[in-house]
């Protein structure tokens, strides 16, 4: 597949790296000569210097033969115009745009992005995705990662296994015997900086991270089995009143009426603006790195601090300071993967990486076959995939044990006729099944092949 990526920042290069590693023909465009040079030096792509919204730049990038354009520059307007040019002049079949300004995304303006007006096939809003991710972390405090699939019926949990985890050193086969009525599959473990699919006789070790797929109604019980019985936060402090902080505060006000919420914002103008938009949140003006400000926000009595400023270091230090002052838990927005090794050391319970979330959303539309959802884990080391089985898929009429994928693919749950079922080796998939599975990074292509759709189907 030939793909043009507009924007050579962290998100653009992250997408380019993944797609080029999978054998796609990738061109990346950016107005910064420095970023273009860096992409040429570090990636197996063709990097073009120029404005992504200009027809001649897209032409040089190979737009005439491209299958997809992914516009993720820093500027919404450039992304939107690039998609329009790609549609009108080059007839590129699939256009994806990152749109950050929330005013474009209000329901009353939805007609703007119809195919008859601005031809964008898929819009990605990192702020909304990140805000939703933080909201899920607040609702499930025992998990460091959580994503819903299959219309919300199936959930993937990322669970940290510390010394207090009651199932440490227990073979997975024994877990099935101890909890025979618990429908859950441990699809992957991370240990010693690697991710792998465990076998029946493998044991969970202290320090592992476990990725578990289960029916959504069983989430609380799964967390209890792993020793996580944390209650939902009732006192929350948000550090940072940008797009993410404001959106998260609005979500909390809407969904959690019993939560006492305070928000710290360093800009007086912005603080006044968001105070007018929020109804139950106490908005404080000041720096979240100031100990007196955190004390004024009563962070010592808070259940959770959520650090979502635009600066990684501020988020890390604010989280660490809040824990030092007595806050029970902390969540941090971290853009750079360079800090991932420090998260647990600083006592931060979970991090959210906007780049990883945006890459996952893009991959959902890049994956071939009837892929309905994708969530990248462990810096791209694996993917949790939600796939729908159509009539021409090669995986039909074959038992799962007959598929040669045991080292790199593990099936989690299947949604069939509105009911979640647990697969076994003898299971054969049926048309319209929704399958949630884990695939190691080097097995993703095999999963695409299993669920690919014949052109005759359409």
Is pLDDT above 90 for 107? no
10 Å Cβ neighbour count for 171?
16
DSSP SS3 for 22: coil
State pLDDT tens for residues 230-261.
888 999 999 999 999 999 999 999 999 999 99
Distance, CA of 268 to CA of 213 (rounded, Å): 44
Question: So what's the pLDDT on residue 405?
Answer: 66
With 0.85 as the threshold, say if the pTM is over it: no
Which own/partner pairs from 49-53 qualify as long-range (CB within 8 Å, at least 24 positions apart)? 51/78, 52/6, 52/7, 52/78, 52/79, 52/82, 53/77, 53/78, 53/81, 53/82, 53/85
Share of residues in the chain with pLDDT > 70 (%)? 97
Evaluate whether 60 touches 85 at the Cβ level (below 8 Å): no
| Domains identified in the chain and CATH numbers | 2-124 (3.40.50.720), 130-225 (3.30.70.1450), 235-327 (3.40.50.720), 358-457 (3.30.70.1450)
Q: Which pLDDT band, with edges at 50, 70 and 90, does 457 fall under?
A: very low
Distance, CA of 32 to CA of 173 (rounded, Å): 54
10 Å Cβ neighbour count for 36?
18
Q: Which pLDDT band, with edges at 50, 70 and 90, does 427 fall under?
A: very high
Name the residue among 163, 164, 161 with its Cα closest to residue 172.
161
Structure tokens at 246: 């404001």
Least confident of 330-344, 403-417, 434-448: 330-344
Average pLDDT over residues 333-357: 81
Distance, CA of 214 to CA of 385 (rounded, Å): 14
Average pLDDT over residues 156-163: 93
Distance, CA of 432 to CA of 415 (rounded, Å): 9
Q: State the SS3 of 367-412.
A: CCCCEEEEEEECCCCEEEEEEECCCCCCCCCCEHHHCCCCCCEEEE
Q: Which residues of 310-326 are buried (b: 16+ CB within 10 A; e: fewer)?
A: eebebbbbbbbbbbebe
Is pLDDT above 70 for 454? no
Sheet holding 194-196, edge to edge: 145-149, 154-160, 209-215, 185-191, 194-196
Name the residue among 303, 344, 330 with its Cα closest to residue 239.
330
Is pLDDT above 50 for 193? yes
Crossing angle for the helix pair 354-366 and 126-139, to the nearest 10 degrees: 110
Distance, CA of 451 to CA of 217 (rounded, Å): 27
- Give the number of C-alpha atoms closer than 13 A to the C-alpha of residue 281, restricted to the C-beta side: 32
Beta strands in 271-317 (DSSP E): 282-285, 304-307
């Amino acid at each position: 597949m030939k793909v043009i990526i507009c924007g050579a920042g962290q998100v653009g290069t992250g997408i380019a790296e993944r797609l080029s590693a999978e054998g796609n023909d990738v061109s990346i465009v950016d107005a910064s000569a420095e970023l273009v040079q860096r992409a040429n030096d570090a990636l197996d792509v063709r990097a073009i210097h120029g404005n992504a919204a200009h027809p001649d730049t897209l032409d040089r990038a190979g737009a005439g033969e491209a299958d997809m354009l992914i516009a993720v520059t820093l500027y919404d307007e450039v992304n939107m115009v690039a998609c329009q040019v790609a549609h009108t002049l080059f007839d590129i079949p699939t256009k994806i745009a990152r749109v950050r300004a929330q005013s474009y995304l209000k329901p009353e303006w939805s007609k703007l992005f119809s195919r008859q007006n601005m031809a964008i096939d898929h819009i990605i809003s990192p702020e909304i995705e990140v805000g939703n991710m933080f909201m899920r972390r607040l609702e499930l405090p025992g998990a460091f990662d959580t994503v819903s699939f299959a219309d919300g019926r199936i959930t993937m949990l990322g669970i940290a296994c510390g010394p207090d985890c009651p199932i440490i050193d227990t073979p997975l086969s024994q877990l099935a015997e101890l909890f025979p009525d618990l429908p859950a599959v441990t699809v992957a473990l991370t240990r010693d900086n690697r991710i792998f699919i465990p076998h029946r006789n493998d044991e969970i070790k202290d320090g592992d991270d476990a990725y578990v797929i289960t029916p959504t109604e069983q989430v609380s019980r799964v967390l209890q089995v792993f020793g996580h019985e944390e209650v939902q936060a009732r006192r929350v402090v948000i550090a940072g009143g940008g797009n993410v902080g404001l959106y998260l505060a609005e979500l909390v006000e809407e969904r959690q009426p019993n939560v006492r919420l305070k928000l710290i914002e360093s800009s007086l103008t912005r603080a006044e603006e968001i105070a007018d938009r929020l109804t139950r949140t106490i908005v404080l003006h000041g720096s979240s790195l100031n100990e007196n400000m955190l004390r004024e926000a009563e962070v010592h009595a808070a259940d959770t601090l959520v650090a979502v400023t635009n600066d990684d270091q501020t988020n890390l230090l604010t989280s660490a300071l809040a824990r030092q002052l007595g806050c029970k838990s902390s969540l941090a927005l971290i853009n750079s993967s360079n800090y991932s090794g420090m998260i647990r050391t600083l006592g931060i319970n979970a991090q959210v990486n906007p780049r990883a979330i945006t890459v996952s959303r893009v991959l959902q539309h890049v994956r071939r076959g009837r892929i309905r959802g994708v969530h990248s884990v462990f810096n791209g080391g694996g993917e949790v995939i939600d796939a729908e089985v159509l009539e021409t898929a090669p995986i039909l009429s074959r038992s799962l044990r007959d598929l040669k994928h045991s080292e790199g693919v593990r099936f989690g749950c299947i949604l069939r006729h509105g009911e979640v079922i647990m697969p076994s080796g003898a299971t054969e998939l049926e048309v319209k099944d929704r399958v949630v599975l884990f695939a190691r990074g080097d097995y993703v292509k095999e999963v695409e092949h299993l669920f690919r759709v014949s052109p005759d189907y359409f």
